[in-house]
Amino acid sequence: AKVAGKNCYRFYSRTMDQAVERRVRLEHDLRGAWGRGELSLAYQPIFRTRDRVLVGAEALLRWNHPEDGAIAPSVFIEVAEQSGLIEAIGPEVLRSACAEAAGWPTPRGAGEPPFVSVNVSPRQLRSGDLVQQVTDALVESGMAPERLHVELTETAVISDEANATALLARLRDIGVRVWLDDFGTGYSSLSHLRRVQVDGLKIDRSFITDLLRDPDDLALTSAIIAMAHSMGITVVAEGVERQGQFDLLRERDCDLAQGYWLGHPMSALEFARLLD
């Protein structure tokens, strides 16, 4: 009867069941994936718009699953976040990014070695250990703190503003730069910028996609850039897929740009080659 009941349930909600099974399996496999060398960082180049000089890179986590191959970050980051595994993986990402970036040479025309920008998850932010993790990564790698950027989503910062404000202030005291990721997708972005001190913001890709066609998106993007600059905040546009978007962003005085038209995420080795 038990087996029949189970089969009956499966019959009615097979897709849901399979999704849950996949999650459970991914969570199981993700545990220890770092230790087995299945996780690595890809680096996507970030350019100054003014002269298209390479000035930095965003570190993006990759998982090469032994059976399933590459798993989409949107899938496994979510699993890592919800299971709490991100609290173990996050510090490794910080250490690894700093270790790999420490030796990067100064690109032609840049005047200083490139920065490395690391995504920090909401859960990592709440763990209370972030300052220590960052300090460890910097001490171990010997990299200058100014070269490390941490990217936090607006939502993560806003949902825990008091804690986040204090934490970000401590990071900035060390010299690390704080960036707001996916800017414009959360709500009441502007009022929070007054209280939460950040060095930069990344305009979400959804604003850039239709930049050439949609006057609203262009107006919003231009307004974000002007507002940020009046507060001394640097602006990156992400998801630049065409030259037209890049040209328009440069015209509107956007500081930095990132996207497939400029460069896809690549291995540490390929990125280092790009710098020579």
Q: Which does 214 bind (CB under 5 to 8 A by kind): ligand C2E, Ca ion, none?
A: Ca ion
Q: How far apart are CA 268 and CA 68, in angstroms?
A: 23
Beta carbon of residue 237, minimum distance to ligand C2E (angstroms, whole number): 10
Question: Which of 56, 104, 265, 268 is close enough to bind ligand C2E by CB under 6 A?
Answer: 265
Strand partners, 180: 152, 201
* Ranges within 188-217 binding ligand C2E (CB under 6 A): 205
Beta carbon of residue 109, minimum distance to ligand C2E (angstroms, whole number): 22
Q: Which does 141 bind (CB under 5 to 8 A by kind): ligand C2E, Ca ion, none?
A: none
Q: Which amino acid is at 37?
A: G
Q: Which parts of the chain are beta strand (E)?
A: 39-48, 54-65, 69-71, 115-119, 148-153, 177-183, 200-203, 234-237, 256-257
Question: Which of 130, 239, 255, 268 is close enough to bind ligand C2E by CB under 6 A?
Answer: 239
Beta carbon of residue 210, minimum distance to ligand C2E (angstroms, whole number): 13
CA dihedral 260, 263, 268, 272 (to 10 degrees): 180
Site map (CB under 6 A) of ligand C2E, residues 76-115, x = contact: -x---------------x----------------------
Establish if 121 lies at the interface with ligand C2E (CB under 6 A). Answer: yes
Q: How far apart are CA 173 and CA 170, in angstroms?
A: 5
Q: How far apart are CA 220 and CA 218, in angstroms?
A: 5
Q: How far apart are CA 195 and CA 165, in angstroms?
A: 8
Q: Which is nearer to Ca ion, 54 or 77 (CB)?
A: 77
CB of 44 closer than 8 Å to CB of 57 = yes
Read off the tokens for 84. 């709490």
Residues near Ca ion (CB under 5 A) are 119, 151, 181-182, 214, 216
Residues near ligand C2E (CB under 6 A) are 44, 60-61, 73-74, 77, 93, 119, 121, 181-182, 205, 238-241, 258-260, 265
